[in-house]
Amino acid sequence: MAAYLIRRLIQSALILLGVSFITFFLLFVLPADPVRQIAGRSATAETVENIRQQLGLDKPFIVQYGRYLGALLQGDMGRSYLQKTEVADLILSRLPATLLLMLGAIACELVLGLTMGIIAALWRGRALDQTLMVTSFVTVSAPQFVVSLLLLYVFAVKLGWFPIGGYGTFAHLVLPAVTLGILGSGWYSRMMRSSMIDVLRADYIRTARAKGLTRARIVLRHALPNAILPVIAMIGIDIGIFMGGIVVVESVFGWPGIGQLAWQAIQRVDIPIIMGVTLVSAFAIVLGNLLADLIAPLIDPRIRLR
């Protein structure tokens, strides 16, 4: 187990190294010039060149990357070009908001998705199943900004149940979390439905029926723990998809998380922030997958980590 953990952590570090290299490279070849953004339109060529030298952006790619990596390994994520603050501080100040949104969204996703999936599987082929699956199809295919704006319009503007945007109370959390939750629930309900249908056909479910157990016990005690296994692996992968969605949703709802930070930084080619946010997101994905893999053997004793 310890050996497994150490190996997985080494693998994770290598993945993060790869992500840092690719992102840095993409930002290097990007035609947008961060120095122009800093200096402003009216700056002279001399000023521009000065800033470029100051930031070390005149150096070859490999030197720039080497410097960044060297600093990163010492825990220094660099300074924002425009905000003149440490990237680490910026991200740390915004991380709690994003984590809160993420937890809310995942809870929402799982409750909605798993319930819909189980109900659809138990009523397979009937009208209820078909309605739920059409619903899930709509949520899977709906763009994030459409759903967020729709919810915003109905529940914040028209009904006034929730604030239009911002951060601070539980009421603020509801709409962005539900938006992300609805969007993600479609995947979970489809997956849960097919997994549950498979499990309900299994021989051990027939055994459970032959014992004379009640339907509720068969579904909850025998079918559910078996059916949920593939879904757990999905949660790990889902964090990646989630990081994409959070940029849009945070911007629409004015949620002060790292998605909003990333959005602003991309517009201004603020390379250290983009790098920092990308690495933190990648770390979250790697960690999510690791956690999913560690949880699986707790449910299924046949899974051995090695």
Partner 1 sequence: MTLAEALPASGAAPAPETVLRVEGLCVSARTEQGLKPLVQDLSFDLRKGETLAIAGESGSGKSITSLAIMGLLPQPAVRVTGGSIRFGQQDLTALSESALRQVRGDRIAMIFQEPMTSLNPVMTVGAQLSEAIRAHAPVGRTEARRRAIEALRAVRLSEPERRMGQYPHELSGGMRQRVMIAMALALRPEVLIADEPTTALDVTVQREVLDLLRDLQARLGTAIILITHDMGVVAEMANRVIVMQQGRQVETASTEDIFGRPQAAYTQALLAAVPRLGQGSARAPVTGEPIARLSDVVVRYPLRGGLLGRITHNVHAVDHVSFDIRKGETFALVGESGCGKSTIAKALVGLAPHQGRIEIGGQAMQGLDPAGMKAMRRRVQMVFQDPMAALNPRMKVGELIAEPLVIHDIGDAASQRARAADLMARVGLEASHLDRYPHEFSGGQRQRICIARALALQPDLIIADESVSALDVSVQARVLDLLRALQSEFGMSYLFISHDMAVVDNISDRVAVMFLGQIVEMGTRAQIFGNPQHPYTRRLIEAVPIPDPRLKRLSRPRDASEVPSPVHRPGHEPARVILRDIGDGHLVGTSVG
Question: Which residue's CB is nearer to partner 1, number 67 or number 209?
Answer: 209
**CA–CA distance, 196 with 134 (Å, rounded to integer):** 18
Considering the complex, what minimum distance in angstroms separates the CB of residue 225 from partner 1? Answer: 5
Considering the complex, what minimum distance in angstroms separates the CB of residue 232 from partner 1? Answer: 12
Question: Which residue's CB is nearer to partner 1, number 122 or number 266?
Answer: 122
Amino acid in position 260? Q
Question: Which residue's CB is nearer to partner 1, number 6 or number 32?
Answer: 6
**CA–CA distance, 120 with 114 (Å, rounded to integer):** 10
Question: Which residue's CB is nearer to partner 1, number 67 or number 217?
Answer: 217
**CA–CA distance, 165 with 254 (Å, rounded to integer):** 5
Considering the complex, what minimum distance in angstroms separates the CB of residue 222 from partner 1? Answer: 5
Q: Collapsing DSSP states into helix, strand and coil, what is residue 125?
A: coil
Question: Which residue's CB is nearer to partner 1, number 157 or number 303?
Answer: 303
Question: Which residue's CB is nearer to partner 1, number 90 or number 192?
Answer: 192
**CA–CA distance, 81 with 52 (Å, rounded to integer):** 11
Question: Which residue's CB is nearer to partner 1, number 233 or number 241?
Answer: 233
CB-based contact 27:262 (threshold 8 Å):
no
CB-based contact 113:182 (threshold 8 Å):
no
Considering the complex, what minimum distance in angstroms separates the CB of residue 237 from partner 1? Answer: 22
Considering the complex, what minimum distance in angstroms separates the CB of residue 16 from partner 1? Answer: 20
Contacts with partner 1 by CB under 8 A lie at: 3, 6-7, 202-204, 206-214, 217, 221-222, 225-226, 299-302, 306
Considering the complex, what minimum distance in angstroms separates the CB of residue 300 from partner 1? Answer: 5
CB-based contact 229:296 (threshold 8 Å):
yes
Considering the complex, what minimum distance in angstroms separates the CB of residue 306 from partner 1? Answer: 5
Q: At a CB cut-off of 8 Å and minimum separation 6, what does 303 contact?
A: 296, 297
Instruction: Kindly report the three-state secondary structure assignment for every residue of 167-230.
Output: CCCHHHHHHHHHHHHHHHHHHHHHHHHHHHHHHHCCHHHHHHHHCCCCHHHHHHHHHHHHHCHH
Considering the complex, what minimum distance in angstroms separates the CB of residue 211 from partner 1? Answer: 4
Nearest to 253 by CA among 141, 139, 159, 162: 162
Question: Which residue's CB is nearer to partner 1, number 67 or number 211?
Answer: 211
CB-based contact 119:132 (threshold 8 Å):
yes
